[in-house]
Structures are given as C-alpha cells and as structure tokens.
C-alpha cells in the first residue's frame, strides 16, 4: 500500500498495478486513489472490464491506441481470473506495453506461479490486501467514530467487531447505521451496538452450538427455526455447524497442548479477538463429544445427499442428539 501512496505522491507510476487479496474495501479504496491520480476527471480515456472471459485481444488493441487529448489511457480489469489461468497473452503484452497506457488489475485470488503474476511483479507493482489485524481494525473504527464526534471505549469496539467480523466493507456499513442511531449523543455504548448492529449468520450458529452444549434444547431449536425463517437453507446451516464444531475441537486440542491464544487464532483461521469465544465454548465439551458431534454432522450431510433423510430433520436430530 505504501508503494501506491508513494507513487501517487511523487507522480511516478508503473504501467501496471495488481491489487489482490480478500480485503475488498481496501482494494476498492486504492483502486479509486489510482483512478483519481492517473486519470482525474478524464472519462474518455478510462476503460473498465470485469468478470471472466474478458476480451484480452480487444484490451491489448485498446492499450496500443494513443490516448485522446490526454497524457494517459487507463484500463481497469477486475475479477478476470487471468492471474490463475489464461493470462499468457496478457503477460506477453505487459512485458513491453505502450508507455502511455496504464493497467490496474483487481483480483480476489491469484496464482503467484503464473506467468502474468510474475510479469506484473517484475514490470509493475503487485500489492496484496489481506484481512487487517485486530489492533488496526480497532484504531480504524475508533478513528471513523472520532471523525463523527463520537467517543467509544475499547470493550465496546471489541463487541462491535465481534458482531461485524473483519470485513471492512461490513464494518463500514454497520458503523454508518450505528452513527445514525447515536446521532444526538457523543458516546457510543455497548447497548447501542447490541440494539443496532446486525448479528452475523456465523454468530447465530455460534449461539446455537452453545445452547446445544448447555443442554438448552428448546433455545437451540428456536435459534434454528429463526435461521429457517430468514431463508437460510438447512444444508447451509449443517455445513456451518460442521465448521463450528471443527473449529471448537481444534481450539480445544491446541489449548490442551499449551499453544498461546493468539497462535491458536492463527492456526484455526479466526480473528484473535474472537478466539476467546471458541475456547469458552470448547470448555463446555469433552474432546470426545466434539469429535462425535463433528462426525455426526458429516454423516448427516451424507445421509441428506443420499436421500436417507430430509435436510431440515437432519439438523433437528443433530440438535436433539
């Protein structure tokens, strides 16, 4: 990211940029920064291509065309999949592109072994946008609230992030609702977060597994029926239950092995600020119970797909079990 900021500040640009990774918000922000810096208000020499099967030959022909009454022609290509397969022709061209044409590629996933990725890395600038860490997200949330004249405590920020997850687009959306809700006050409280922030599907699944662990069958079934009312498919719920039990089981085994919480979060692929919830729930189960629950989910999924039982009843039986 610093390389892009430096290029904009110094007005010294590479002919090709690749912005890739799972953090969509940051990719969009830096794509906009590059667009403003490279093209400004010029619309005639700015072009956009999106999706699989982008016309590579057409894009290259366009790139060879001199800009009309402008210094640059800028071509944006998003989610093309060229950095995973089929990018050889583009890689060949980008090894010596037209000096007045600039490319900005945005991709969710890339193959770093591909010829196109290697070409862009050597001839241009490839920047990965990963999920931001806990401290970065806490500072970002606090700064956005501060700009709106709102104060917030760290525990409230942590509660907020536990509901939104680490996706910055979702965080921004939920913050906008929270700010509007607290329009006439300068302090955002935990009650505000609970009142206005949408509980993610994953959190509902988490609550359901905790109710199961605490033998609160009626509550667990009620949460399940709430999910069905929200048009969540039983097989999707079953898949998420399997994932949940798998994560809880892994967290428990790692904790038993003396692994620090932050390292557990990294190993099982969850944000550090929520690993405590997994460990707390893991304490409600024996390892053998978690393994059996996970096996039951896998078996139920197979039974549904082979027609031995319908999907809705399969989840109900898991909860009752």
How large is the average pLDDT for residues 251-272?
Answer: 89
Domain count, the chain: 3
- Residue 108 in contact with residue 79, Cβ under 8 Å? yes
Regarding whether 70 and 10 lie in a shared domain, the answer is: yes
Of 196, 214, 248, the one marking the end of a domain is 196
Task: Give the per-residue pLDDT at 170.
Answer: 87
Confidence of residue 84 (pLDDT cuts 50, 70, 90): very high
Task: Give the per-residue pLDDT at 101.
Answer: 96
Task: Give the per-residue pLDDT at 124.
Answer: 95
Regarding whether 117 and 22 lie in a shared domain, the answer is: yes
C-alpha–C-alpha distance, residues 56 and 177, integer Å? 41
Enter the tokens of residue 51: 């999706």
Of 187 and 134, the structure prediction assigns the larger pLDDT to: 187
Q: How far is CA 63 from the centre of its chain?
A: 32
Enclosing domain of residue 20: 2-128
Regarding whether 119 and 19 lie in a shared domain, the answer is: yes
Regarding whether 224 and 123 lie in a shared domain, the answer is: no
Regarding whether 254 and 217 lie in a shared domain, the answer is: yes
C-alpha–C-alpha distance, residues 68 and 156, integer Å? 53
pLDDT over 70 for what percent of the chain?
A: 100
Regarding whether 69 and 42 lie in a shared domain, the answer is: yes
Enter the tokens of residue 164: 């939104």
Give the bridge partners for 106, in sequence order: 19, 78
Regarding whether 221 and 143 lie in a shared domain, the answer is: no
């Amino acid at each position: 990211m610093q390389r892009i900021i430096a290029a904009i500040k110094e007005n010294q640009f590479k002919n090709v940029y690749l912005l890739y990774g799972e953090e969509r918000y940051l990719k969009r922000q830096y794509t906009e920064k590059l667009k403003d810096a490279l093209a400004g208000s010029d619309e005639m020499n700015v072009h956009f291509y999106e999706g699989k099967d982008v016309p590579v030959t057409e894009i290259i022909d366009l790139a060879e065309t001199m800009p009309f009454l402008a210094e640059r022609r800028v071509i944006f290509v998003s989610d093309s999949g060229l950095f995973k397969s089929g990018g050889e022709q583009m890689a060949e061209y980008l090894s010596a592109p037209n000096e007045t044409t600039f490319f900005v590629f945005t991709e969710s996933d890339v193959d770093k072994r591909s010829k196109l990725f290697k070409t862009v890395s050597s001839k241009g600038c490839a920047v990965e946008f990963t999920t931001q860490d806990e401290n970065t997200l806490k500072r970002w949330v606090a700064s956005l609230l501060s700009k709106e004249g709102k104060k917030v405590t760290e525990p409230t920020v942590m509660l907020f992030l536990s509901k939104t997850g680490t996706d910055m687009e979702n965080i921004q959306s939920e913050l906008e609702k929270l700010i509007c809700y607290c329009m006439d006050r300068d302090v955002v409280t935990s009650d505000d977060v609970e009142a206005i922030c949408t509980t993610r599907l994953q959190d509902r699944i988490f609550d359901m597994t905790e109710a199961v662990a605490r033998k609160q069958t009626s509550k667990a079934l009620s949460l399940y029926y709430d999910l069905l009312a929200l048009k969540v498919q039983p097989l999707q719920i079953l898949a998420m239950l399997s994932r949940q039990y798998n994560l809880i089981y892994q967290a428990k085994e790692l904790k038993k092995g003396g692994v620090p919480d932050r390292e557990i979060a990294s190993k099982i692929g969850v944000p550090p600020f929520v690993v405590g919830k997994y460990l707390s729930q893991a304490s409600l189960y024996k390892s053998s119970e978690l393994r059996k629950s996970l096996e039951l989910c896998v078996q139920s999924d197979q039974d549904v797909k082979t027609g031995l039982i319908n999907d809705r009843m399969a989840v109900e039986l898991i909860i009752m079990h």
